[in-house]
């Protein structure tokens, strides 16, 4: 059985997370977007994605930084599956060759 404090924490997390998912949509749903807001929203996906992986750029581990650089290079040229496999293999190999 799950205890009450655990259940309350999980439900609390679920509620605030769902609010973040729904509120942005609800606020802009019936609003015509001006050109400036459109431009800001067009930039949003890239800004979110790069911010999420920013820690990888400053990890300070040579193996990880080289692997990241090679992954950036691969991502610019190839499609999703080969890039993901390449990233995993290269990172694993470099961590063996250049232990932190």
Partner 1 sequence: MNALEPVLNDPPATTPHTELRRGAVAALPVLLGFIPFALVLGAQASQQQLTAGAVALMTGLNFGGGSELAAIELWTSPPAILVIVAMTLLINSRHLLMGATLAPCLSHLPLPKALGALFFMCDESWAMGLADARQRGGFSLCYFMGVSLSLWITWVTFTSLGTQIGPLLGDLRSYGFDMAFAAVFLVLLKGLWKGVHAALPWLFSLFTAALFYLLIPGGWYVLAGTVAGLVTAYLWAKP
Instruction: Give the chain's length.
Output: 100
Number of residues that bind partner 1 (CB under 8 A): 74
47 is a contact residue toward partner 1 (CB under 8 A): yes
Q: Which one of 62, 66, 86, 98 is in contact with partner 1 (CB under 8 A)? A: 86
66 is a contact residue toward partner 1 (CB under 8 A): no
CA distance 72 to 91: 13
Coil/strand/helix, residue 98: coil
Cβ count near 94 (within 10 Å):
19
65 is a contact residue toward partner 1 (CB under 8 A): no
Q: Which one of 18, 62, 66, 98 is in contact with partner 1 (CB under 8 A)? A: 18
Q: Show the CA angle centred on residue 49, arms to residues 46 and 60, nearest 5°.
A: 120
97 is a contact residue toward partner 1 (CB under 8 A): no
């Amino acid at each position: 059985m799950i205890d009450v404090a655990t259940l309350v924490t999980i439900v609390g997390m679920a509620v605030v997370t769902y609010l973040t998912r729904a509120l942005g949509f609800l606020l802009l749903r019936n609003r015509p977007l001006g050109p400036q807001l459109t431009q800001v929203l067009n930039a949003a996906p890239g800004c979110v994605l790069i911010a999420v992986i920013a820690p990888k750029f400053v990890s300070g581990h040579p193996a990880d930084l080289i692997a990241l650089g090679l992954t950036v290079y691969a991502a610019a040229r190839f499609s999703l599956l080969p890039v993901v496999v390449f990233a995993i293999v290269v990172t694993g190999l470099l961590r063996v060759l250049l232990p932190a």
